[in-house]
């Protein structure tokens, strides 16, 4: 299982990677995709909207279940990874790379301090 050190993690199994100018990339963790199984559909209808930390920004549908996607930090959703519309299984094969879900403009960077680092997240999922 993969736990990139340049990401912060939530207890709901989302990751966030801070980029330049208070922008960040968000996705679900390698652990989450392995628990969900093969992803078949993603729905994100929050592009252009500010979504509060821990609020739902979309859903991920796998063969056996549907799961809400929770915002790791408050931010405006700038972009949805439209490649996932045709190939949601990219999350299964590359959760931290090509399988990113959204890009956001972080509203409150201090919220990142309350998320887990890679070691803490790895301990959580054991």
Q: Mean of the pLDDT values across residues 81-101?
A: 97
pLDDT, tens digit, for every residue of 76-90? 999 999 999 999 999
Percent of the chain with pLDDT over 90: 98
Residue with tokens 């990113």: 100
What fold characterizes domain 8-105? OB fold (Dihydrolipoamide Acetyltransferase, E2P) (2.40.50)
pLDDT of residue 106: 98
Of 86, 76, 71, residue with least CA distance to 107: 76
Q: What are the residue ranges spanned by the domains of the chain? A: 8-105
pLDDT, tens digit, for every residue of 12-46? 999 999 999 999 999 999 999 999 999 999 999 99
65: which 2 tokens? 């279940």
Q: Mean of the pLDDT values across residues 49-78?
A: 97
């Amino acid at each position: 299982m993969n736990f990139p050190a340049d990401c912060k993690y939530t207890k709901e199994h989302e990751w966030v990677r801070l980029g330049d100018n208070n922008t960040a990339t968000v996705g679900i963790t390698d652990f989450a995709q392995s628990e969900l199984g093969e992803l078949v559909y993603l729905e994100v209808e929050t592009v252009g909207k500010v979504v509060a930390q821990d609020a739902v920004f979309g859903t991920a549908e796998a063969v056996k279940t549907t799961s809400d996607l929770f915002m790791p930090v408050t931010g405006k959703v700038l972009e949805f990874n439209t490649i996932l519309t045709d190939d949601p299984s990219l999350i299964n094969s590359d959760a931290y790379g090509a399988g990113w879900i959204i890009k956001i403009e972080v509203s409150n960077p201090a919220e990142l301090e309350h998320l887990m680092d890679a070691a803490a997240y790895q301990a959580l999922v054991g």
